[in-house]
Amino acid sequence: MLTAAAATVGSRRRVTGRQIAGRSVPYFLLLPVVGVLAAILGYPIYFLVKLSLQRYGLPELVQRHGEYIGLDNFRAVLHDPLFWHVLLRTVVFTAVNVGLTIVLGTLGALLLVRVSTWLRLLLTIGLVLVWAMPPVVAVQVWQWMTNSQNGVLNYILTQLHVGNYFQHNWYETTFSSYAMVTSLIVWGAIPFVVITVYAALSQVPRELLEAAQIDGARAWRIFKDVTLPVLMPVLLILTSLSIIWDFGAFTQPYLLIGPGQQTSSNYLMSTYLYYEGFGKNDFGTGAAISLLMLVIVAGLSVVYVRRMLRVGEEA
């Protein structure tokens, strides 16, 4: 009797122990990732905040100790007209790139539906090829195609009678050099949009399209009233992703315009903070700009994260 009772107590205790152990399993599984991310990302972000509140130049870098100056860095940055110019330029740059990427990508997907099967296959292969190109490689190709001496772009434009582009230097003005950066980024970003939107187009109910056609509705109305509502969730995700990516673009503008040609007249947020930090060795100011940029991007990410969370939980 006594032993039986002891046994039940024992087994009950064992079950509870196991339950506790069972409940802690996911935390043990997460521990390695959380630990490493806290060290290589969490701590650096904490350090970034600290840095933005310090005077931190070359002497401080050597001494490994900055001087606390409160919000002075932020005050200086936010009172500098340059910051607002760069922010405006980055916003316009992002809007143009994202707009072109989404519109041209959607048009490409609609085209993909309408061409013959063999051409659809060919186009898909071409798109995936473009998508796979490493950005640094694409920059080299752009530099070669658009250089003023013997770039093929100037030759083609002249031959097509667009104008006389003989030895035209595209990198002379901020506007035309960004036209080149934009063409490069949009070219590289279109395949992802085309292929994703094309997949979403298969969800558009065929009967509805045919009914609309029989009713004699115009192509634009059919697109607006039948196709677009189905595409909306996908377009929303693609747009927010593109905004986040293009707002933080660094490799293409930095390399295509050239590391030596970055000036206050053509900075984007990413290159601006880079040159404030590493160019002027003013890491405190660089950190303040970095932090402002991260906050802006975090704000832009809210739409994307919320949507991913919802679809992720459904899946």
* Binding flag, residue 180, another protein (CB under 8 A): no
Q: 3-state class of 39 per DSSP? A: helix
Q: Give yes or no for a contact between 93 and 179, defined as CB atoms under 8 angstroms apart.
A: no
Binding mask 294-313 for another protein (x = CB under 8 A): x--xx--x--xx-xxx-xx-
Q: Which residues contact 192 (CB under 8 A, 6 or more apart)?
A: 105, 131, 238
The least distance separating another protein from the CB of residue 225, rounded to whole angstroms, comes to 21
The least distance separating another protein from the CB of residue 127, rounded to whole angstroms, comes to 7
The least distance separating another protein from the CB of residue 10, rounded to whole angstroms, comes to 20
How many other CB atoms are found less than 10 A from the CB of residue 300?
15
* Binding flag, residue 144, another protein (CB under 8 A): yes
The least distance separating another protein from the CB of residue 155, rounded to whole angstroms, comes to 6
* Binding flag, residue 21, another protein (CB under 8 A): no
* Binding flag, residue 218, another protein (CB under 8 A): no
* For another protein, the closer CB: 6 or 132: 132
DSSP code of 259? G
Q: 3-state class of 249 per DSSP? A: coil
Burial 137-174 (b: 16+ CB within 10 A, else e): ebbeebbebbbeeebebbeebeeeeeeebeebebbeee
The least distance separating another protein from the CB of residue 4, rounded to whole angstroms, comes to 26
* Binding flag, residue 211, another protein (CB under 8 A): no
* Binding flag, residue 90, another protein (CB under 8 A): no
Q: Which of 1, 3, 4, 23 binds another protein (CB under 8 A)?
A: 23
Element spanning 95, H or E? helix 81-114
CA distance 69 to 55: 6
* Binding flag, residue 205, another protein (CB under 8 A): no
Burial 110-122 (b: 16+ CB within 10 A, else e): bebeeeeeeeeee
Q: Return the axis-axis angle of helices 283-314 and 43-52, rounded to nearest 10°.
A: 140
* Binding flag, residue 170, another protein (CB under 8 A): no
Interaction with another protein in 51-80: which residues (CB under 8 A)? Answer: 51, 61, 64
Part of the chain binding another protein (CB under 8 A), chosen from 19-27, 70-78, 95-103, 168-176:
19-27
Interaction with another protein in 243-282: which residues (CB under 8 A)? Answer: 244, 247-248, 250-251, 254-255, 260, 269-271, 273-274, 277-278
CA distance 192 to 153: 25
Q: Which of 86, 189, 241, 257 binds another protein (CB under 8 A)?
A: 241
Part of the chain binding another protein (CB under 8 A), chosen from 68-76, 81-89, 94-102, 121-129:
121-129
